[in-house]
Structure 1
Amino acid sequence: MGRIIPFVLTALVMVSCSKSEEVEAPEPVNECGALEAQELVGKTVEDLAAMTFAAEVTRFINPGDVITQDFRPERMNIVFDEDGAITRVYCG
């Protein structure tokens, strides 16, 4: 029994290190129009002052904000960094 354990462990390591199949990334959700709003990335909150959005709901997320994890495809999320620049725009 003592001689079998190293072989079993080696086989388990080899299986766990084997290349896994690549999985396609899911299509991004765009019900809120976030794909069309990607030009906002890099802009600041001042740039948004005169803008309107097609999304039913727009959520602005600042560093340290506590946000809900509910998924709402019609909601546009606009994420800001510490300097007030937009780093990400996505639906959800």
Structure 2
Amino acid sequence: MKGCQPVTRNGAPIAAFAALGAAGTVLAGCVAGNDAASLRPSQRCDAVAAQRFIGAMASTASGVELMRLTGARSLRWVPPRTIVTAEFRPGRLTVDYDDTMAITRIACG
């Protein structure tokens, strides 16, 4: 994940996480430059193959594998109860997870 800095959560490395606020809310953000005009069709994200990861644990390893399976150029982790921007980025993979770190949703954009 070029351009991302490893950050830890509870002592464990989690790629693309950045701490936000005093309450310890976590918001992800790893963007490697994704405007639709600059992406060839082969660089666009396709989340179909990644759906088998629903229920798997959100981790550095699962993030790397999800990006490989989808062809995404950037990864956005979405913790529970987090508001995220709605702009569409065809090369971005968005992965939601719950309080137990289980992946609940995988989508491109």
Greater relative contact order (Cα < 8 A, sep 6+) = 1
1:39 pairs with 2:52: yes
Gaps of 5+ in 2: 1-43
1:33-89 CA distance string (max 9 Å, x none): 211111110100246266361311110000122311111121111110121100110
Greater C-alpha radius of gyration? 1
C-alpha distance in structure 1 between counterparts of 2:64 and 2:87, whole Å: 28
In the comparison of the two structures, how many residue pairs are matched? 62
Runs of 4+ in 1 over 4 A off after TM superposition: none
% of aligned pairs identical?
A: 32
* TM-score computed with the length of structure 1 as normaliser: 0.58
Select the structure that is richer in strand. Answer: 2
SS at match of 2:95: strand
C-alpha distance in structure 2 between counterparts of 1:73 and 1:49, whole Å: 17
Select the structure that is richer in helix. Answer: 1
Specify which of 72, 75, 84 is matched with residue 55 of structure 1.
72
Code of the residue aligned with 1:33 in structure 2: it is D
| Partner of residue 87, structure 1 | 104
Q: Structure 1 stretch 81-90 or stretch 49-58: which is displaced more?
A: 49-58
* TM-score computed with the length of structure 2 as normaliser: 0.50
| Partner of residue 75, structure 1 | 92
Code of the residue aligned with 1:51 in structure 2: it is E
SS at match of 1:76: strand
C-alpha distance in structure 2 between counterparts of 1:44 and 1:62, whole Å: 12
